[in-house]
C-alpha cells in the first residue's frame, strides 16, 4: 500500500468558532488583514461582527466586497492589486467557495507574480503566501480545508484548477451558526456539491482507506441532513452536521480528487455561469449511473452510508438504489434540469470536449468517451 495524504488547514470547528478570528490573526502576528466577501454575506450581517473581533485584537481590516460567483481571473487580479497596495500581512475569506477560492488566489499573488493564469495546474506555486484564515458560510465546497483554488479564465472560458503546495488556507474557522441564514436554494445546491465531493472521492481512482472513511461518513451526514437543513434552516443540529459533512468531504477529495460530475460541471459554469452546486447536482445521478458497472461494490457501500436497507439486494440493485436516492433528492430539493437553466443543446459538443480535458476525468472510475458524456448531458437535459 502506498498513498499521500495531507490537509493544509488547522481546523477549529464549533458554534461560535468564528469569534476567534481576531485572536487567531493577532496570534500569528498580523497587523493588517485583507478581508474578502461578497455582498450577500455582508447583507446577511455576518461580516461586521467578524471585523469587530479583528479590531478588538488590534488588527486593521482592509475590506473587499466585490467577490463574484465562479470567480473570474480579472476580479482576482483587481483584488490582488488592492491587497498588494495596502501591504496586508494576512488574508481572511468569509463566504462560500467563491470567496475562499478568490482569497487563495489573491494570497498566491501576494508573494508570486501575476497573472494568476500561469498557476493553472498542480504544484505550480513556488513561494508560500501569507497566512490565510477561511471562514465558510455555506456547507458546500469544503474549500476551507482543500488545497485547490478554482478560478475562471475569462479568455479561455475554462475553470482553472490551481492546486497543491502553498494554495490552501492556514486556518479554517468552521462555525455552523454562520450557515443558519443561508437561503433554502443555496443550502440545497451547495449541499449537493458537498455530496458530489464525497461520492466522487469515494469511487475515485485516487481513493485510499483514509479518504474512504472520511467520504462515507460525509455521505451519511449530508444525506441525512440536507433536506432538514434546506427546509428548516434554523435547525442547528442539521446545519452543524452539514458543515461537518462538507468539511469531511473536503478532507477526502483534496486527497482522492474528484470525477466526471465535476468535469462536466466546470465547463457548464465556465460557459453559462451556472452556480457550481447546481451544475454538480444536475449531473450527479447520471454520472453515478454511468459509473456503477466500474465500481459496483463501492456504490453499494454508498447506499449503506445513505441509510438504505440493502438486505437481500444484489450489489447492482443496491448501487442503483443509491442512484435513485440522489435522483429523488434532486426532485425534493427542486434542482432544475439543464433545459430549465437555459443551457442550449448546440453547446453539448463543446461541453463534452472540455469535460474530457478536465483533470478530474482521469480519476473517474470508468473512462468516458465523448459519446458517453453527450449521453449524460442528454439525460440531464
- Applying CB under 5 A, which residues contact Zn ion? 193
Give me the sign of the Cα torsion angle 351, 352, 354, 355: positive
CB of 22 to Zn ion, least distance (A): 30
Rg (CA), the chain: 20
Instruction: Say if residues 191 and 244 touch (Cβ distance below 8 Å).
Output: no
CB of 91 to Zn ion, least distance (A): 22
Question: 158-163 and 121-122 as β-strands: parallel, antiparallel, unpaired?
Answer: parallel
Q: DSSP H helical segments within the chain, as ranges?
A: 21-27, 39-43, 47-56, 73-86, 97-111, 184-203, 209-223, 226-231, 236-256, 260-272, 276-291, 296-305, 315-332, 348-357, 370-380
Long-range contacts of 107-110 (CB under 8 A, 24+ apart): 107/132, 108/149, 108/162, 108/166, 108/167, 109/76, 109/77, 109/80, 109/83, 109/84, 110/80, 110/83, 110/84
> In terms of CB distance, is 73 or 193 closer to Zn ion?
193
> In terms of CB distance, is 320 or 361 closer to Zn ion?
361
Question: 148-153 and 32-36 as β-strands: parallel, antiparallel, unpaired?
Answer: unpaired
Question: Across the strands, what pairs with 91?
Answer: 34, 132
CB of 261 to Zn ion, least distance (A): 8
Question: 158-163 and 148-153 as β-strands: parallel, antiparallel, unpaired?
Answer: antiparallel
Residue nearest to Zn ion (CB): 193
Question: Across the strands, what pairs with 122?
Answer: 163
> In terms of CB distance, is 93 or 110 closer to Zn ion?
93
CB of 183 to Zn ion, least distance (A): 19
> In terms of CB distance, is 38 or 193 closer to Zn ion?
193
> In terms of CB distance, is 150 or 318 closer to Zn ion?
150
> In terms of CB distance, is 189 or 241 closer to Zn ion?
189
CB of 269 to Zn ion, least distance (A): 10
> In terms of CB distance, is 193 or 358 closer to Zn ion?
193
Rounded Cα distance between 12 and 171, Å, is 8
CB of 143 to Zn ion, least distance (A): 9
CB of 280 to Zn ion, least distance (A): 6
- Spatial CA neighbour of 152 closest among 34, 275, 38: 275
> In terms of CB distance, is 146 or 241 closer to Zn ion?
146
Question: Across the strands, what pairs with 36?
Answer: 64, 93
> In terms of CB distance, is 20 or 262 closer to Zn ion?
262
CB of 148 to Zn ion, least distance (A): 9
Rounded Cα distance between 91 and 89, Å, is 7
CB of 262 to Zn ion, least distance (A): 6
Rounded Cα distance between 247 and 249, Å, is 5
Amino acid at each position: 500500500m502506498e498513498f499521500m495524504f495531507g490537509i493544509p488547514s488547522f481546523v477549529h470547528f464549533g458554534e461560535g468558532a468564528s469569534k476567534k478570528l481576531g485572536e487567531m490573526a493577532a496570534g500569528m502576528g498580523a497587523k493588517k488583514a485583507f478581508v474578502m466577501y461578497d455582498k450577500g454575506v455582508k447583507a446577511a450581517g455576518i461580516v461586521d461582527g467578524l471585523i469587530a473581533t479583528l479590531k478588538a485584537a488590534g488588527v486593521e481590516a482592509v475590506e473587499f466586497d466585490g467577490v463574484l460567483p465562479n470567480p473570474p481571473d480579472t476580479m482576482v487580479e483587481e483584488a490582488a492589486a488592492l491587497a498588494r497596495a495596502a501591504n496586508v500581512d494576512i488574508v481572511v475569506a468569509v463566504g462560500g467557495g467563491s470567496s475562499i477560492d478568490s482569497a487563495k488566489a489573491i494570497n498566491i499573488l501576494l508573494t508570486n507574480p501575476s497573472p494568476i493564469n500561469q498557476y493553472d495546474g498542480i504544484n505550480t506555486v513556488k513561494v508560500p503566501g501569507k497566512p490565510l484564515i477561511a471562514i465558510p458560510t455555506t456547507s458546500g465546497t469544503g474549500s476551507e480545508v482543500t488545497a485547490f483554488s478554482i478560478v475562471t479564465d475569462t479568455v479561455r472560458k475554462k475553470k482553472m484548477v490551481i492546486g497543491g503546495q502553498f494554495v490552501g488556507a492556514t486556518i479554517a474557522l468552521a462555525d455552523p451558526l454562520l450557515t443558519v441564514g443561508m437561503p433554502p436554494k443555496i443550502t440545497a445546491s451547495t449541499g449537493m456539491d458537498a455530496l458530489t465531493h464525497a461520492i466522487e472521492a469515494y469511487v475515485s481512482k485516487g481513493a485510499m482507506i483514509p479518504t474512504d472513511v472520511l467520504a462515507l461518513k460525509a455521505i451519511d451526514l449530508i444525506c441525512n441532513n440536507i433536506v432538514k437543513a434546506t427546509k428548516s434552516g434554523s435547525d442547528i443540529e442539521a446545519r452543524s452536521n452539514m458543515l461537518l459533512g462538507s468539511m469531511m468531504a473536503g478532507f477526502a477529495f483534496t486527497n482522492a480528487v474528484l470525477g466526471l460530475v465535476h468535469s462536466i460541471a466546470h465547463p457548464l459554469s465556465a460557459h453559462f455561469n451556472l452556480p457550481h452546486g447546481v451544475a454538480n447536482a444536475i449531473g450527479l445521478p447520471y454520472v453515478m449511473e454511468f459509473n456503477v458497472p466500474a465500481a459496483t461494490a463501492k456504490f453499494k457501500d454508498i447506499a449503506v452510508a445513505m441509510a438504505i436497507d440493502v438486505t437481500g439486494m444484489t450489489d447492482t440493485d443496491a448501487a442503483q438504489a443509491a442512484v435513485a436516492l440522489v435522483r429523488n433528492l434532486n426532485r425534493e430539493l427542486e434542482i432544475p434540469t439543464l433545459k430549465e437553466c437555459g443551457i442550449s443543446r448546440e453547446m453539448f459538443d463543446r461541453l463534452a470536449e472540455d469535460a474530457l480535458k478536465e483533470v478530474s476525468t482521469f480519476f473517474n472510475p470508468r473512462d468516458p468517451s465523448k459519446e458517453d458524456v453527450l449521453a449524460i448531458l442528454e439525460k440531464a437535459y
